[in-house]
Structure 1
């Protein structure tokens, strides 16, 4: 199991938990964090025993975004990982889910700060749980910067455009309740319980047929920009093969026999 000094990887049953682990800097992005995160996404997809991913942060924060001190020229932690970026100049965007989409469902468990790059990475996740005191926002314009992690493209597709533009252009913070009201997150829970709730959702996903789950996720994303007729045709192409799998037969058999199904990804 992988990980770095700023990214921990743990197993919780069939769920891989990736934790940003730089709490002294509110989990601001670092080279070891980005390298570990990208390796974690790859590990999850390569291991068929992993059925879901929970993405969270240590120390009461999710991620406060880019390390502005490093950007100002004070150096970024983990320079020994620089060769990984040289070998793959796109690695940081893949780590941040801008240029990579895991085939397994990704559930975000957010406590504390989830701002700037944190809110940008959040948009690459599938299901989102936030603690009551979590803070969201795209602060880049306040620093004269551009939210280049994908937000000008993704955010207006995920929430109403008027809310997306307000978040992008004001750079103001949003509470968890505000984030839920505009559809950025799906659940608001008591502080300190976001991870537990995310793991509960993950377990519900894990109990379903993995081939079906992955096909459903793929269909949702690949048809998002299609016309309805093209999307429906693509859905048949993606969905019909699922019905011919051994897992589909097992699901029907288990229902008839009134027992939990045993799926084998076959």
Structure 2
């Protein structure tokens, strides 16, 4: 899928093997992470969080992976935290508790609260993507949803706080009036409305979100990986800067890309009217 890797740089072994609530699949140069707890609408669990974090690390450490797709099994993306467990019913997958003891921040990294993979992350949403699901969504880069998908931050309706980053990030991603309405009413948002306010980028027929996400991933994978990663990094690192500081940071990030062998290969391939062969060099 996409550009061809150079034979002299084989990909590193893939670390992520998944857990009982998170499956991992390699589709060409894309790593597909699937939240897999459909009987609970893919409510967050310890095995899911551990699997997610391992998946982000695996994608970053494997140069053969160009993009990541995050989706959910059973026609649902994620219904948020397991409220029964939160109320004292016991969290599934307690045998993963040692991972949290070793890294108390693991669950926040898994939810992309303050961990950002260097590879582009595309969300493929079907069904419910609410509460913690909408919080994880805000850590993704490109978002596709089936037309019957539902979004929303329901925490205030339960007397809770959306502590996965939404009070900080949402108003930076969509207009403040829409962000505050979503945060303060806790109401559901159908996919067409979520697209209208800018929370998601594509609405497709139900069942088609994964295929569309993989289509976008293939387009990304065909591009120069060093350029893609530098562009993503520049967008995020300059977001809070003044225009002058941002432009200076962009030059510092962008100029080195022009000196790469991949940049020369891209220009040469264009002139020769052939697909480029990028080698991350």
TM-score (norm 2): 0.94
Matched, 1:139 2:154: yes
Matched, 1:168 2:187: no
Query: Which 4+ runs in 1 deviate beyond 2 A?
Result: none
Q: Matches of 1:2 and 1:202 in 2, distance apart? A: 21
Following TM superposition, by how much is the alpha carbon of 1:99 offset from its aligned partner in structure 2, in angstroms?
A: 1.8
Q: Matches of 2:19 and 2:59 in 1, distance apart? A: 16
Matched, 1:154 2:169: yes
| Structure 1 partner of 2:55 | 40
| Structure 2 partner of 1:242 | 257
| Structure 1 partner of 2:4 | none
**Alignment equivalent of 2:32, drawn from 14, 17, 27:** 17
| Structure 2 partner of 1:26 | 41
Matched, 1:104 2:119: yes
* Per-residue deviation, residues 205-260 of structure 1 (Å, max 9, x unmatched): 00000000000000000000000000000000000000000000000000000000
Following TM superposition, by how much is the alpha carbon of 1:2 offset from its aligned partner in structure 2, in angstroms?
A: 1.4
Q: Matches of 2:230 and 2:86 in 1, distance apart? A: 40
**Alignment equivalent of 1:209, drawn from 224, 230, 235:** 224
Structure 2 counterparts to residues 55-74 of structure 1, below 5 A = 55-74=70-89
Structure 2 counterparts to residues 53-92 of structure 1, below 5 A = 53-92=68-107
Following TM superposition, by how much is the alpha carbon of 1:25 offset from its aligned partner in structure 2, in angstroms?
A: 0.3
Which 5+ residue runs of structure 1 have no aligned equivalent?
none
Q: Matches of 2:265 and 2:17 in 1, distance apart? A: 33
Matched, 1:260 2:271: no
**Alignment equivalent of 2:67, drawn from 49, 52, 57:** 52
* Per-residue deviation, residues 55-108 of structure 1 (Å, max 9, x unmatched): 000000000000000011000100000000000000000000002000000000
Give 3-state SS (helix, strand or coil) of 1:114's partner: strand
Give 3-state SS (helix, strand or coil) of 2:92's partner: coil
* Per-residue deviation, residues 161-217 of structure 1 (Å, max 9, x unmatched): 000000000000000000000000000000000000000000000000000000000
Which 5+ residue runs of structure 2 have no aligned equivalent?
1-15
Matched, 1:233 2:251: no
Aligned alpha-carbon RMSD (Å) = 0.4
| Structure 1 partner of 2:9 | none
Q: Matches of 1:234 and 1:205 in 2, distance apart? A: 23
Following TM superposition, by how much is the alpha carbon of 1:159 offset from its aligned partner in structure 2, in angstroms?
A: 0.1
TM-score (norm 1): 1.00
